[in-house]
Amino acid sequence: MTALPDWMRPPRAEGWFAEDLDRLPEAPRHTELIDGALVFMMSPQRAWHGRLVTGLTTTLMAQAPAGFEVEREMTIRLDTRNRPEPDLLVTTAEFDGDRTWFAPEDVQLVIEVVSPESAHRDRTVKLRKYAEAGIPHYWCIEDVDGAPVVHVYELDEPTRAYAPAGIFRDTLRRPVPFEINLDLGSLTPPRTT
């Protein structure tokens, strides 16, 4: 049996807390905290995923009006035991170069690009947690034969649950959280057979 490195041992019997992530310099990139458990992305990132996230980042940054910032791979401190890291988020918080997380009340849109190892978390666990935290908009993007398909959700405030707001292929036009117009086909190169 292989011994765990010291940094992987929870600092207390109750497990990990949100503030502990800032004290784990040895942890792999993209370490998240879900229900007090550390979650690592151990598989290599697919080129499709990286290209899509980069394309979305630059396109959304170009369309975002004053008062909105687009950030990638930053955690959201949902509560003391949950600090997930979406692929992208849109925030109304002012830029702070020392920031390591965002508060949910400052996040307007969360975008997750589904990978095989994150599919369950992105489609169910994070969908529920982001809604319970009051984040108004959630996009879950799937790879369908090399093309991005965007499942869009809006928060139903009274129930604190997301309601489906559409499935988008080829183009995506949304009036919220700001006017967004995406040519989805241009975000990733076409797949060659």
Tens of pLDDT, residues 130-139: 999 999 999 9
**pLDDT above 80 (res 157):** yes
What digits encode the pLDDT tens for the residues 66-89?
Answer: 999 999 999 999 999 999 999 999
The values of phi and psi at residue 144, to 5°, are -115, 100
* CATH 3.90.1570.10 for the 17-186 domain, yes or no: yes
Q: Whole-angstrom Cα distance, residue 172 to residue 166?
A: 10
Strands (E), the chain: 32-34, 37-39, 69-72, 75-76, 88-91, 101-102, 107-113, 137-144, 147-156, 161-168, 171-174, 180-183
Cis bond before residue 164 (omega within 30° of 0): no
pLDDT over 70 at 1, yes or no: no
Task: Give 122's contacts (C-beta < 8 A, 6+ positions apart).
Answer: 112, 114, 115, 140
Tell me the per-residue pLDDT of 11-45, one tens digit each, with 9 for 90 and over. 777 889 999 999 888 888 889 999 998 988 756 67
Q: From residue 131, how far is each of 81, 123, 126, 167, 181 by CA, in Å?
A: 16, 12, 8, 18, 24
- CA contacts within 13 A on the Cβ side of 182: 25
Q: What is the mean pLDDT of residues 114-125?
A: 93
